[in-house]
Amino acid sequence: MPTLLWFRRDLRLCDHPALLAAAQDDAEVLACYVLDPRLTGASGSRRLHYLYRSLHELRERLDGKLLVVRGKPEQQIPRLARVVGADAVHISQDYSPFGRRRDDAVRAALAGVPLCATGSPYLVSPGRISKQDGSPYQVFTPYYRAWRDHGWRAPAASGPDSARWIDPAGLPGGTEIPDTPSRPDNPAGELAATTQWRTFAETSLPSYATDRDRPDLDTTSRMSAHLKFGTIHPRTMAVDLDSDADAYLRELAFRDFYATVLHHWPESAWQSWNRGMAKIEVDDGPDAQRMFDAWTAGMTGFPIVDAGMRQLAQTGFMHNRVRMIAASFLVKDLHLPWQWGARWFLDQLTDGDVANNQHGWQWVAGCGTDAAPYFRVFNPTTQGAKFDPAGDYIRRWVPELAEVTDVHKLGSARPARYPDPIVDHAEERLEALRRYQQLR
């Protein structure tokens, strides 16, 4: 009997357990993807670009045997199952709040045809490990120890030839994948993901622990978008991580941890996980909106913040250290709700992922699972001097400062076309601490 393989956040053919499950017993497999208007409408243009390029590549690797349809999955997946007479629909498990609701609706609409979940986008799936009393971990460090002890399987031995693919030509309801040009600054798809990982593992992984906080150095992996869309599985990457690569492995663990937190506390997508900290005083109104607009435009007068925001606007990516600095500035210097920044990042980032993004913002704001950072207010000037010592990153993204010798001490050297600081950091730091102390 034929089966359906419904691709979602697993746009690859290698290391794909659900593919092997769909193809077992020599079943013919229809590969499909559903362009859900609820997701395409909520995705920024850069994520859509990555999605479409990845779908084009996936279809090419399947010699055209990928059916793309448009509509709600609870309508399209049962329809396709009926069209080919599928006895099962195979997926990789989705643990996000939206994904779980969608899959429940599809399962009900399939009316007896099983929806079979095999594997997930994570090394250790949400719910797989817990504390001794059975409750989920709320702090990263003990979670990380348990995560390491639990371990994960070897990559699945799948590939383009793992199934007898059904040719979708002539099947009703297919739609064209939007045509988007390739972009060298935003390579997409499985081949780009594996190439990028091999390059990073060979050249920059050995120095990752010492250089990862330097936005002026091209030493980060740039794998976040590939992981977001599943064009590579973290198992494939973990094979190259030995005991000397603990710093990078911790980043993969954070990805699993935040997915776990969102799984157990789905309301934390837009509400502060720490409800006590949710009551902090924040600014609103026209003045707050003007501050927010200056932040999004990279016109705050703080060079490292502006460099990061302009990198984001121009490329859909921002270095992780700079993300923390920019986020701290929004919530602790401008006193704006973390949700404003999280929503902007999701709109702009190619790698925008609800679990990582929202809980990263809450970590900075001090209202997430690890509460200690509530009193930590990044000084954007000292942060810039520490992690971009020569100012190369700042000069690249803030051309107004290209001719300035010391971008960290502008003083009278501040160009007329570059704005003065929109706030006094020292004053706003004290104000932020005052607001936090009111809660404690």
Q: What is the pLDDT of residues 364-402, one digit of tens each?
A: 999 999 766 667 899 999 999 999 999 999 999 999 999
Residues 136 and 204 in one domain: yes
Specify the CATH number for the domain of residue 140.
1.25.40.80
Last residue within a domain, chosen from 264, 284, 300: 264
Residues 226 and 367 in one domain: no
Instruction: Report the distance separating Cα 425 and Cα 421, nearest Å.
Output: 9
Residues 126 and 115 in one domain: no
Predicted pLDDT at 212:
95
Specify the CATH number for the domain of residue 284.
1.10.579.10
Q: 243 falls in which pLDDT band (50, 70, 90)? A: confident
Q: 181 falls in which pLDDT band (50, 70, 90)? A: confident
Q: Each residue of 111-141: pLDDT tens digit?
A: 999 999 999 999 999 999 999 999 999 999 9
Host H or E run for residue 12:
none
Instruction: Report the distance separating Cα 10 and Cα 70, nearest Å.
Output: 18
Residues 37 and 129 in one domain: no
Q: Each residue of 157-169: pLDDT tens digit?
A: 999 999 999 999 9
What separation in angstroms does the CA of 199 have from each of 106, 107, 203, 210, 433? Answer: 39, 41, 6, 18, 43
Check pLDDT > 90 for residue 43.
Answer: no
Residues 289 and 426 in one domain: yes
Average confidence score pLDDT of the chain: 95
Residues 18 and 133 in one domain: no
Residues 103 and 139 in one domain: no
Domain extent, residue 49, equals 3-120
Kindly state whether residue 381 falls inside one of the protein's structural domains.
yes
Kindly state whether residue 161 falls inside one of the protein's structural domains.
no
Residue type present at position 319: H
pLDDT, mean of residues 170-193: 89
pLDDT, mean of residues 408-430: 95
CB proximity list for 1: less than 8 A, separation 6 or greater: 27, 85, 86, 87
Kindly state whether residue 335 falls inside one of the protein's structural domains.
yes
Q: Do strands 115-117 and 89-91 pair parallel, antiparallel, or not at all (unpaired)?
A: parallel
Answer whether 36's CB lies under 8 Å from 63's CB: no
Residue type present at position 127: G
Could you tell me what percent of the chain has a pLDDT over 70?
A: 99
Check pLDDT > 80 for residue 244.
Answer: no
Binding residues: 208, 220-224, 248, 251-258, 351-353
Per-residue tokens: 394: 């700042």
pLDDT, mean of residues 337-366: 96
Domain count, the chain: 3
Binding residues for FAD: 208, 220-224, 248, 251-258, 351-353
Residues 197 and 294 in one domain: no
Check pLDDT > 90 for residue 52.
Answer: yes
Residues 204 and 313 in one domain: no
Residues 325 and 381 in one domain: yes
Query: Burial code of 135-174, b = ≥16 C-beta within 10 A, e = fewer?
Result: ebbbebeebbeebeeeebeebbebeeebbebbebeeeeee
Residues 140 and 86 in one domain: no
The Cβ-side half-sphere exposure at 136, using a 13 Å CA radius, reads: 16
Predicted pLDDT at 112:
92
